Amino acid sequence: MNLSADRIIKVGSLQVTLPAFITAVTGIVLALASFFTGGKEVGLMFMVLLLLQSYSINCAVVGHCNSWAWFLAITAIINAAGVAYYKFSK
């Protein structure tokens, strides 16, 4: 069994690395399990977070993620500004 991080999994026209695929499937399974046990909002949150994590993992292995890098940089700045505002507004 080839468990290399750069192994490509094809789902229709979508191609992702094996670690990204496993993460995405985990998010979908967890979301479905939460959905059927009454935690619809929690399931949706898990799915979104793990699908974003899957995209990050795929970018880490494959590269060429300029847009994702800028998104992460902007969210880091927003987070830092929020923490600074919270800390210094008291």
- Phi and psi of 10, rounded to 5°? -105, 125
Residue 36: the pLDDT is 85
Give every residue of the chain whose pLDDT is below 70, as ranges. 1-3
pLDDT at 46: 84
Cα dihedral value 53, 22, 57, 7, nearest 10:
-160
At 1 the pLDDT is 65
Strand partners, 10: 15
User: Cα torsion for 48, 46, 60, 74, to the nearest 10°?
Assistant: 60
